[in-house]
Amino acid sequence: MRKTAKENIEFVIAELNKLVEHRVVATTENPRVVSPLQVAKNGNESVARQRQNATTVAENDGKCTERTRIPLTLGERRELIFWEAKLREGKLKRRIDEIFEPRWWLYTDASAIGLGTVVKDEGGTEVMRISKLGERGFETESSAMRELKAVEFAAERMAGTMTGQVLVHSDSQAAVHIMKKGSMKADLHVVAERIWDNMRQVGNVKYIWIPREQNEEADEASRTFDYDDWAVQDWVFQWAQRKWGRVTCDWFANEQNAKTPKFYSKYPDPKAAGADVFEHIEEAQKCGPAWWVPPPLAIPRLIGEARRLKLKEGPRQAFLEEITENARNRNSDDIVQTLMTALSSAKAASTMKAYGQENEQRRRWILERGLPLNEVSTVMYLAWKSESVGSGSLAKISAAYKMVNNEVSIPGAQCVAELINSKKRAEATTRMQPVCINEPVIVKIMSTLEDDAKSERDVLLVHLSYSALLRASEASNLQWKDVRVKNGLLEVFVAEAKNDQLGKGRTTFVQCKAGSDLDLLLKRWKVRCSLKNPDFIFHNLHNQKPLSPSSISSIVKAKFDAIGVQGSHHALRRGRANDLQAEGFSLDEIQRTGRWRSPAGMSTYLRDNPRAQGIRVEEMESEEEEEGPPSLTREAPVPL
């Protein structure tokens, strides 16, 4: 009670008695707080907009003194903002002659799995039908909550895109009551407040209940979904960004599942950058790194566009765009697809993959810094990369750039060459001599052989890779049909190699006499494999699939570590080439045995050797000089 009322208590009591006598107010044993705002503006809205205040009073009843200060909650602050706006606008009472003429008829419904809404205009024409799958735990929520979320979903889509009075239809009496007057349950009331805020952006709104049989269209929408509007979970998106970098545009999304602020939708959407990303490829590409989670039917077309984009840059871009435009005007998209497939398969798949990754990283770096996608920016990127990578990586970046462009200009080529050469000079001061694995190491590996499948496979892998100078990829693809022993020679047919992209195949012959280590290892492994009869020699012991090149490299390195030797799978090839040279094989013979395409490629494997410098075997096997200082002998006098 106010201080002035206490000072004039007799007057207050007298006035209250007068009100009671005239039945203006009634006495009650349990008096409650009546908001003056409810008196000022009677109706559903006033009841709804004082729920937060009433809840606070009810929760603190009897717990507070006259001097207790209760801080305003977020909901109470929103109520005050609402009433402040109403007072400022002077809209405290609804005029009796106010006419409600809805422009939009909204029908909403919620099933156990999702939400559905249908919007019709004054003529009964359907202007919008949208559905949405419920989030995790949606099916366990109350029916009132699900129905409220259906209206909230529609209100969010209508806000900012539609204007005019709205008549909302729902087959849930509880939801209609809450939308009219709010709820004392905080979670339901918060959803209702969001509905009111969104609908205020559209226009005046009324909520009415209709029987279920009159709400069949919304009910159908709540059970029927466009499964093309799917998305990955947020943790997958965050993991992908940490692994491959930040993306700035979602190519296949809608307002509900978009992972980035900028996105392209399947159908027109006021918040999307455009509808159907395939109609906006050039603009989408300029947005920067993209997030691709396409619907299944769009995957083939996306692959075609990806191939086309990989091959488009610089002067080559205008040429390919002209071909694409001509084909589109003449309904010959299949011709463009054939051309793009041919251009992308002209090089080995592994090369195309590596070059594609390099080009993507280069484009991302350039776009993130707002630079033009041209040769000058590429040279700047190379200079930046030279601080963290070697000369080989710089050369690969340059080759990848040339794949999608014409040759660089003379000044640009000079800058690239000088960057690479400068890096090579810096590397020369710290470069270690490559490791060579020679025959004594193979003997040590043989001593680790045990009577189990994994040990037999791994030891054979090391021995055969050394003897036949196999690359890891060649060992991975080697099948039983590719090897045979004849007249003490093992024929190893390499069907496809890194330097044999056309798959002509090469055969290497290895000494494999009966009873030799290699002969026994092969026979022993073949007997063990005969029960399952796998196609590949070096296969996974569980599913008989071929070991990948990386797995083969890991196995060989583990065998070296077991005997205390530092080396890789490629060290076997390098070591065998040097051992052959030491045994007296000519450079041409070593080149053919190792299946090198040119002497230049082989020369990087060979160390300095007397034979390579023309010293004959007889000269190297001549009697060695005696150790110690030379002895002096007196010569006989020469007769005059």
How far is it, in rounded angstroms, from Cα 571 to Cα 344? 32
First to last CA, the chain: 152
Distance (Å) of CA 77 to CA 73, 157, 185: 6, 26, 18
Q: Where does the pLDDT of residue 259 fall: very low under 50, low under 70, confident under 90, or very high at 90 and above?
A: confident
462 and 445 Cβ atoms separated by less than 8 Å: yes
| β-bridge partners, 503 | none
Q: Does 134 reside within a domain?
A: yes
The answer to whether residue 391 scores a pLDDT higher than 70 is: yes
Chosen domain end from 428, 457, 484: 428
Neighbours of 44 (CB within 10 A): 14
pLDDT for 257 equals 76
Q: Does 86 reside within a domain?
A: yes
Q: Where are the beta strands (DSSP E) in 122-165?
A: 126-133
Distance (Å) of CA 496 to CA 315, 503, 505, 588: 34, 5, 6, 21
Helices and strands in the chain: count of H runs, count of E runs: 28, 12
Average pLDDT over residues 304-309: 68
If you search the block for the tokens 């109350």, which residue do you land on?
A: 142
| β-bridge partners, 130 | 117
Are 54 and 128 contained in the same domain? no
Are 337 and 317 contained in the same domain? yes
Q: Does 640 reside within a domain?
A: no
How far is it, in rounded angstroms, from Cα 175 to Cα 207? 9
Are 402 and 257 contained in the same domain? yes
pTM of the model: 0.45
253 and 261 Cβ atoms separated by less than 8 Å: no
Cα atoms found within 13 Å of the Cα of residue 308, Cβ hemisphere only? 25
Neighbours of 428 (CB within 10 A): 9
Are 578 and 508 contained in the same domain? yes
Are 329 and 422 contained in the same domain? yes
If you search the block for the tokens 């640009």, which residue do you land on?
A: 412
- 117-131, 522-536, 607-621: least confidently modelled range: 607-621
Q: What is the average pLDDT score of the chain? A: 78
Which tens digit of pLDDT belongs to each residue from 557-603? 999 999 998 888 988 988 898 888 888 888 889 889 988 888 888 88
Task: Tell me the residue range of the domain where 424 lies.
Answer: 234-428
Q: How many structural domains are present in the chain?
A: 5
Phi, psi of 286 (to 5 degrees): -70, -15
The answer to whether residue 187 scores a pLDDT higher than 90 is: no
The runs of H, that is alpha helices, within 451-500 are 453-467, 472-477
Q: Where does the pLDDT of residue 399 fall: very low under 50, low under 70, confident under 90, or very high at 90 and above?
A: confident
How far is it, in rounded angstroms, from Cα 347 to Cα 329? 30
Percentages helix, strand, coil for the chain, rounded to the nearest 5? Answer: 50, 10, 40
218 and 151 Cβ atoms separated by less than 8 Å: no
Q: Does 631 reside within a domain?
A: no
Which tens digit of pLDDT belongs to each residue from 34-76? 544 444 444 566 566 666 666 665 555 555 665 667 677 777 7
Q: Where does the pLDDT of residue 227 fall: very low under 50, low under 70, confident under 90, or very high at 90 and above?
A: very low
Which tens digit of pLDDT belongs to each residue from 248-257? 888 888 776 7
Are 14 and 39 contained in the same domain? no
Distance (Å) of CA 146 to CA 175, 187, 192, 274: 9, 12, 12, 31
Which tens digit of pLDDT belongs to each residue from 12-24? 787 777 767 655 5
Query: Is the model more confident about 92 or about 321?
Result: 321
If you search the block for the tokens 């000072």, which residue do you land on?
A: 7
How far is it, in rounded angstroms, from Cα 555 to Cα 562? 11
Q: Where does the pLDDT of residue 538 fall: very low under 50, low under 70, confident under 90, or very high at 90 and above?
A: very high
Distance (Å) of CA 521 to CA 131, 440, 451, 572: 65, 17, 12, 18
Are 387 and 448 contained in the same domain? no
**Which candidate, 297, 305, 302, places its Cα nearest to that of 336?**
305
Q: Does 434 reside within a domain?
A: no
Are 353 and 466 contained in the same domain? no
Cα atoms found within 13 Å of the Cα of residue 131, Cβ hemisphere only? 19
DSSP state of 494: E
Average pLDDT over residues 117-123: 88
Token pair, residue 634, equals 């007196």
Chosen domain end from 70, 93, 116: 93
Are 208 and 241 contained in the same domain? no
pLDDT for 458 equals 94
Q: Does 633 reside within a domain?
A: no
Are 487 and 608 contained in the same domain? yes
Are 460 and 605 contained in the same domain? yes
- 238-242, 377-381, 382-386, 556-560: least confidently modelled range: 238-242
Are 173 and 259 contained in the same domain? no
Angle at 198 between CA 192 and CA 201, to 5 degrees: 145
Distance (Å) of CA 301 to CA 12, 154, 294, 297: 82, 32, 10, 8
Neighbours of 147 (CB within 10 A): 25
Chosen domain end from 93, 115, 135: 93
Q: Does 629 reside within a domain?
A: no
* DSSP line for 577-623: HHHHHHTT--HHHHHHHTT-SSHHHHHTTPPP-TGGGT--HHHHTSP
Distance (Å) of CA 616 to CA 621, 623, 625: 9, 14, 18
Q: Does 625 reside within a domain?
A: no
Helix (H, G, I), strand (E, B) or coil at 516: coil
